[in-house]
């Protein structure tokens, strides 16, 4: 068994009992729009803030029409806990309006189309495709970019490069699980500063690239 597959098998087993991140939980409602909005709220904030903002917003509005109709000040108040709430409120409004105008209020199913909507970047597009539409893509966030580099599996400088390299080394059957698994791993053990190497289930497979101190 190759190293990347061995790593994934160990981590999938290790983190199976853990609560999934908010965006992944939201996707289980089988509502692509809510997955998209929750992902946009998750940008540059902690998961607990995403959970709070998503719950607050979805109690009031969970369709493109409902969000588009909300006064901007009310929308800002609802998503305040997510941070960068003024910019995010404008993004949610714009995305909702575009979905109504161009796509019959449906979230597109292709990366190219999703990326054509201002406010939706590669990470968000891939999360929607992977979580909401169960397509075989790898959504790369800070954890998914950082950890494979630390492990020595890839040597990349951007998330876009990381996505390409991970697709080369991981079997397709793992692609949809890489994001959730590495987020949980990155939050609980392989943290950015002073990772918990002493309790890491894959420490024997890690090159510890850039790790200056650990616990």
What are the catalytic residues?
Answer: 123, 141
Helices (H), 16-134: 22-27, 32-42, 47-60, 64-69, 72-78, 85-103, 111-115, 122-127
Residue 21's contacts (CB-CB under 8 Å, 6 or more residues apart) are: 42, 47, 50, 180, 183, 184
* Burial zone of 157 (CB within 10 Å; 0-12 exposed, 13-18 middle, 19+ buried): exposed
Q: How many CA atoms lie within 13 A of 103 on its CB side?
A: 17
Q: Which two tokens stand for residue 150?
A: 């630390």
* Burial zone of 175 (CB within 10 Å; 0-12 exposed, 13-18 middle, 19+ buried): buried
Q: Which two tokens stand for residue 131?
A: 């979580």
């Amino acid at each position: 068994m190759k190293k990347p597959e061995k790593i994934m098998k160990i981590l999938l087993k290790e983190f199976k009992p853990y609560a999934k991140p908010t965006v992944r939980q939201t996707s289980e409602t089988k509502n692509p729009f809510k997955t998209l909005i929750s992902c946009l709220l998750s940008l540059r904030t902690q998961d607990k803030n995403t959970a709070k903002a998503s719950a607050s917003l979805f109690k009031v509005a969970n369709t493109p029409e409902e969000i588009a109709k909300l006064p901007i000040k009310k929308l800002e108040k609802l998503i305040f806990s997510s941070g960068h709430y003024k910019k995010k409120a404008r993004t949610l409004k714009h995305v909702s309006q575009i979905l109504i105008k161009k796509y019959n209020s449906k979230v597109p199913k292709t990366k190219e189309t999703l990326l054509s909507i201002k406010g939706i970047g590669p990470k968000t597009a891939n999360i929607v495709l992977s979580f909401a539409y169960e397509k075989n893509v790898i959504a790369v966030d800070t954890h998914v970019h950082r950890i494979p580099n630390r492990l020595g599996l890839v040597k990349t400088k951007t998330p876009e490069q990381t996505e390409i390299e991970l697709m080369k080394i991981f079997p397709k059957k793992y692609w949809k699980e890489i994001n959730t698994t590495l987020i949980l791993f990155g939050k609980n053990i392989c943290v950015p500063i002073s990772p918990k190497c002493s309790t890491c289930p894959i420490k024997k497979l890690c090159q510890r690239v850039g790790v200056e101190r650990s616990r």
